Structure 1
Amino acid sequence: MEFTYVKFEVLIPEEYIHKLRDELNDAGLLNVGHYDHVLSYVHVKGYWRPLQSSTPYRGTKGKVSFGEECRVEFTCSADRVEVAKRIIKNIHPYEEPVIHVLPQFTI
């Protein structure tokens, strides 16, 4: 099966969403039909433990942390995945951002 679109899921602090949305839109990645800026997000809670070799955005090395962030979702053309990943990594404050890219199959 081939796919033409992918769905991105990105975990990111809420204060970075507007900048991410604007940069992705400026690159033409948030268009759906006759709309642009098409992106959604939900608040999520999670755990993480920064290891000794890390430079954590939040949390303390060696201690399990708990906090809230947002899961941003958007769909873009499969041939633009690398552009989207580059934009996300340039804006994202985490040294290891969580980025999921899921194929969207056409039925």
Structure 2
Amino acid sequence: MAEPLVVIVVYVPHHDSDAVRRVLDEAGAGRIGDYRGCSWSTSGTGRFTPLAGAQPTIGAVGEPEQVAEDRIEVVAPRSRARQIVEAMLAGHPYEEPAYHVIPVLTLDQL
């Protein structure tokens, strides 16, 4: 049976998406069979209001902000997920990036 996988999803300002995809690839995410750097993206609008104590990359404390963002999804081996997420966080431009990690069921597990 193949190693368990997860899907890592992260929201990134559009102009930083390629850099974050590179970080994910270099950390070992996005490998499917004989391919690497595999990802899927869609564009949307991120909305947030930085609170007191925040040091926002974009926007100002107390002011609602809207940013063109990409939702990036990659698969990763469960055993490397923590290291990959830590690398993604280190390479992400936001102070507090939104992300989540989702377990994957393979055909054998259905």
* Class of the TM-score when normalised by the shorter of the 2 chains: 0.7 to 0.9
Bigger shift: residues 16-25 or 84-93: 16-25
User: What letter corresponds to residue 43 of structure 1 in structure 2?
Assistant: S
User: What letter corresponds to residue 103 of structure 2 in structure 1?
Assistant: P
What percentage of residue pairs aligned between the two structures are identical? 28
2:73 alignment partner in structure 1: 73
Shift of 1:99: 1.2
> 3-state DSSP class of the match of 1:94?
coil
2:39 alignment partner in structure 1: 39
TM-score by length of structure 1 reads: 0.88
1:18 alignment partner in structure 2: 18
2:98 alignment partner in structure 1: 98
| Structure 1 pair 25–46 and aligned structure 2 pair: CA distance change class (3 A) | closer
| Structure 1 pair 67–25 and aligned structure 2 pair: CA distance change class (3 A) | closer
List runs of 5+ in structure 2 lacking aligned partners: none
Bigger shift: residues 35-44 or 14-23: 14-23
> 3-state DSSP class of the match of 2:76?
strand
Shift of 1:68: 1.3
TM-score by length of structure 2 reads: 0.86
Deviations 1:46-102 (A, max 9, x none): 210000110011112112112211111111111111111111111101111111101
CA distance in 2, matches of 1:62, 1:36: 41
Q: How many residues align?
A: 105
- Contact in 2 for aligned 1:11/1:70 (Cα 8 Å): yes
CA distance in 1, matches of 2:35, 2:93: 28
Shift of 1:104: 0.7
Deviations 1:36-55 (A, max 9, x none): 11011111112100001100
